[in-house]
Chain A
Amino acid sequence: MAVAQVRKPPMGGIGKRVAYYPGCSLEGAARAYDVSTRIVAKELGLELDYLEDYNCCGAMETKNVTFWGTMLLNARNMSLAKKQGHSVIVAPCNGCSFSLQRAEYFLETDKNVFERINSLLREGGVDPLNEIPHTYHILEWFYHEAGPEKVKERTKKPLRGLKVANYYGCLYTRPHFYARTYSHSGTEEQERPRMRETADDDEHPYYMNALLEAAGATSVEYEPMHTQCCGGPHSLSDEQVSEKFVMMLLQTAKRNGADIIATECPLCHASLEMYRHRLMMKGVPDVDVPAAYFTQLLGLAFGYSAGDVKLKDNLSDPLPVLQRLGLA
């Protein structure tokens, strides 16, 4: 559902060279996302400065065990980014960007947290934070620093005929306290205390749609499933609920005519692929839509091969679909 946009966020303003926090997943099972992200950044003329020696952000799990520990984990990463001379961190994972942005929220709004964390950082042999770096999801960065124009310009092999369901997941747009999103169709009344002009629309995100459409793909209707949960932190611990949620996601995509689901989070992606496989083994109908990272699709459009963007890493086998359409 396209929503009339009253407010158009200004382009640019984030910086072409940023600290890159890949997160644990991207260096392991989600290698394809890392590789294709680097390809896309290079093609779009953007520079990712790998954050040396980072630690896990704690994802959605450690925050339930320890508040202070989780703050510390993220503050350490922020401090490393500062040390490398960056005031902007970019993370390709919803979980990582959530964790960093959550820490940002508490550090900025609670003076006690800020002071205590700084003294703890010193104790742990890490530089304290005098300024708090801001974290952006990589999609927001691509959209603002390159944008659909640049993607179009770079596209050598348009994704013609590919019908994509753009899946954003939960934490890319939520909660607005951390993700700083706001309603692009709203007026001043919906002004939010921490909103950031460059952030995506909160209930109707469209940055991924815009980038993939610029690369020649067609987006299918995918609201409201585009921001519905995949089971997230419970994908291993609560199989019943996760399976049901993923089933809803896959079936909606299929019934709306999608060839492929584009993802922008390694956790969502893994959850989709894992439960897709299980649902197919059970013989549940309409769950066979494969998933690919949006950066993989952009990479293909930029003329890279399926091997370059590691399409074989995807356990849901998107290759046959793409080959059928002559895209890979």
Chain B
Amino acid sequence: MAIHERSLVDPERVLRKERLVIDGVDVSGDWNLIILPRVVEDYDLDFYDEVIAQPEGKTIVNCYQCSYCTASCPVHNYWDERYNPRHFIYLARLGLIDELQKRADVMWRCVSCHKCTHRCPKGVLVEEVLKAILRVMAKRGIIEEYPSKKFDKFFMDSVYEYGRIEDGELLFGWIEKQGYQVVKDPILKKPIPFFGGVPDWLKDLAAKPIKNMNISFLILNAKHMLFHPRTKNWNRFKQVLRKVMEEEGVFTH
């Protein structure tokens, strides 16, 4: 596993001498590398406080940097070594915001598999803490909209509106958001899966129940797409949801 704190050392601070003599002793060879100290002034301890202030972020205080989380993480192991939960916790604690920002392109990739949380010997809810860190970053505008956040919001909108979600709408709605051209019927404005510019794999998959003559499945899903399943008496509950979400600033960021 790479030592990630190495990435905090700027290249120009690393000095390597051909010959190094200290107090008359030639220490060239293993000892000829010097790293100039760096004074960190651009830290922000409020960042850490904001993470702790969230109910899911509290357990960050327990972390003792053993890296068990990183060793377990599939995104780190199978996708990108730069994705390193332990390191993100380290940076958040020190308040090294610009360093976090440099990693913003991988930080959202967590698939919420909870291997980290499960194995952490100190009881840190790692996945939750990472999401809390991401949220504070978003609040401060140091991470751009990332795909999974767009999806989360899209999902939340549906739950908020109806109390329930519907697979077809979620899938085709998302595909449309990705810029594919989805054909809709003119009256109810619901997607028709087999036409338009939706990706081939999706057309193929959507055609399977037809090929299999799986009529009841088609009817069920068509019904759900036309009439979104809803929770009864949702409106009053929705008001309360709206209130807490407003407090959290969900509608503003």
Q: Identify the A interface with B (CB < 8 A).
A: 24-25, 27-29, 31, 53-56, 58-69, 72-73, 76, 106, 110, 113, 120, 123-126, 170-171, 173-177, 202, 228-229, 231-234, 236-238, 241-242, 244-245, 248, 270, 273-274, 277-278, 281, 310, 312-313, 315
A interface secondary structure, majority: helix
B40 within 8 A of A: no
Provide the residues of chain B in CB contact with A66, threshold 8 Å.
156, 244-245, 248, 250
B145 to chain A, nearest CB (A): 11
* Residues of chain B lying within 8 A (CB to CB) of residue A54: 231
Bound form: Cα–Cα A50–B174 in Å: 30
- A313 to B218 Cα, complex, angstroms: 10
CA distance A29 to B149 in the complex (A): 24
29 A–B contact pairs at CB < 8 A? A24-B165, A24-B166, A28-B166, A55-B164, A55-B234, A58-B159, A64-B131, A64-B135, A64-B148, A64-B149, A65-B250, A66-B245, A67-B56, A69-B156, A69-B250, A72-B241, A120-B240, A123-B240, A175-B125, A177-B117, A177-B125, A234-B112, A236-B170, A238-B109, A241-B75, A244-B79, A270-B167, A281-B200, A315-B205
Contact B118 A176 (CB under 8 A): yes
Interface residues of B in 163-199 (CB under 8 A from A): 163-168, 170-171, 174
Binding site for A on B (CB under 8 A): 54-56, 74-75, 78-79, 109, 111-115, 117-118, 123, 125, 127, 131, 134-135, 147-153, 155-156, 159-160, 163-168, 170-171, 174, 200-201, 204-205, 208-209, 212, 214, 217, 220-221, 224, 229, 231-234, 236-237, 239-241, 244-245, 247-248, 250
Additional 12 contacts, C-beta under 8 A, given A55-B231, A72-B241: A24-B164, A24-B165, A24-B167, A62-B152, A110-B55, A120-B240, A173-B118, A228-B74, A229-B115, A241-B79, A273-B205, A315-B205
A residues in contact with B151, CB < 8 Å: 61, 233-234, 236-237
Pairwise interchain contact A29-B152, C-beta atoms closer than 8 A:
no
With A and B bound together, what is the CA distance between A124 and B238 in angstroms? 8
- Contacting B221 at CB < 8 Å: which of A29, A232, A234, A281? A29
> Which residues of B lie under 8 Å from residue A234 when comparing CB positions?
109, 111-112, 148, 151
Q: Which residue of B lies closest to A110 (CB)?
A: B55
CB distance from A13 to the nearest CB of B (A): 24
Which of B147, B153, B159, B234 neighbours the largest number of chain A CB atoms within 10 Å of its CB? B159
In the complex where A229-B74, A277-B205 touch, is A170 in contact with B114 (Cβ < 8 A)? yes
Point out the residues of chain A lying under 8 angstroms from B123, CB to CB: 177
A125–B236 touching, CB < 8 Å: yes
Out of B75, B118, B152, which one reaches A61, CB within 8 Å?
A: B152
Query: Closest residue of chain A to B83, judged by CB?
Result: A241
The answer to whether A248 touches B78 (Cβ under 8 A) is yes
Flag if B231 contacts A125 (CB, 8 Å): no
> Are B148 and A238 neighbours in the complex by a CB distance under 8 Å?
yes
Question: Which listed residue (B125, B150, B167, B245) contacts A69, Cβ 8 A?
Answer: B245
Q: Is the CB of A69 within 8 A of B204?
A: no
Name the contact of A125 in the complex, choosing from B79, B165, B237 (C-beta under 8 A).
B237
Residues in A with CB closer than 8 Å to B167 are: 24-25, 28-29, 270
Structural contact, B112 and A233, CB atoms closer than 8 A: yes
Question: B236 to A202, Cβ gap below 8 A?
Answer: no
Residue of A nearest to B163 (CB): A55
Q: Which residue of B lies closest to A181 (CB)?
A: B118
Contacts of A171 in B (CB 8 A): 113-114
Assess the A175–B217 pair: CB atoms within 8 A: no
Is B113 touching A232 in the complex (CB atoms < 8 A)? yes
